[in-house]
Amino acid sequence: MSRKPVLPVLVVIAHGSRDPRHATTVDALVRRVRSLRPGLRVETGFLDFNIPSVHGVLESLAAEGVREVVALPLLLTRAFHAKADIPAVLRDAPPQLRIRQADVLGPSPLLLDALERRLREAGLTPAEKSSTGVVLASAGSTDPEAIAVIADIAREWRRTGWCAVRPAFASASLPRTEDAVRELRALGCPRVAVAPYVLAPGFLPDRIARGAAEADVLADVLGPAPEVARVLLRRYDSARTPVLAAIGA
């Protein structure tokens, strides 16, 4: 009887934050991923501020005899962390580990579903969609590719029936959330909602919340929404396929 191949370990790489809500939210998301895929080993490593570090997790896995790892950036866009920080950390991993870096989470239709879930939870009904303008509020980036992706998501989301959708950024780019809220008011949208396109609470999400003071609805961060967990597993599956093929799966 042939042995079933061992699945590569999923190592979720989170940014980390001094805000304790960040790690708590990441842990909740990872627990949901585990619940959706009980046979999959999932570990979490942080780039900064929190423990365990990514390097520490990889060292521990190598010491246990793990050989196959999928490293998944817990990021919504391909900006500096995905392009530079994470590859640099992975290059310093123990040489006996075979690591594949999965794609970032966004963009994905499932993340739009998660945004709508959070807006419904905040009290926005489906009947109010056509009369509501939405601010798609992200953390912001100096990377033009990441900014362009947010603008594309806003255009795509607008086509699903909202009065209007405008991107906004908490740092590095403009407009700010409060300016996008005012723009939607000026456009004549009867209702304005702010949807944070961020994964966990922290300094920049708090800035988004302050900028939403004049909005009618403020949704929660994406956090451990089931749609986010499903995106993680899709990215893992896409990255692990060549690993399994290489070991005879």
Residue-by-residue pLDDT tens, the chain, 249 positions: 456 678 999 999 999 999 999 999 999 999 999 999 999 999 999 999 999 999 999 999 999 999 999 999 999 999 877 888 999 999 999 999 999 999 999 999 999 999 999 999 999 999 999 999 999 999 999 999 999 999 999 999 999 999 999 999 999 999 999 999 999 999 999 999 999 999 999 999 999 999 999 999 999 999 999 999 999 999 999 999 854 433 333
Spell out a b/e string for 64-103, using b for 16 or more CB atoms within 10 Å of the CB, else e: eebbbbbbbbbbbbbbebbeebbeebbeebeeebebbbbb
Continuous segment of H or E residues that includes residue 194: strand 191-196
What distance in Å separates the CA atoms of residue 232 and residue 237, rounded to the nearest whole number? 9
SS (H, E, C) 122-172: CCCCHHHHHHEEEEEEECCCCCHHHHHHHHHHHHHHHCCCCCEEEEEECCC
Continuous segment of H or E residues that includes residue 72: strand 68-73
What distance in Å separates the CA atoms of residue 73 and residue 75, rounded to the nearest whole number? 5
Burial class of 160 by CB neighbour count within 10 A (0 to 12, 13 to 18, 19+): exposed
What distance in Å separates the CA atoms of residue 83 and residue 103, rounded to the nearest whole number? 11
- Tell me the one-letter amino acid at 91: R
- Joined together, the tokens standing for residue 66 give 């793990």
Calculate the alpha carbon distances from 225 to 116, 127, 160, 171, 220 in Å. 11, 22, 20, 24, 10
pTM of the shown model: 0.93
What distance in Å separates the CA atoms of residue 227 and residue 113, rounded to the nearest whole number? 7
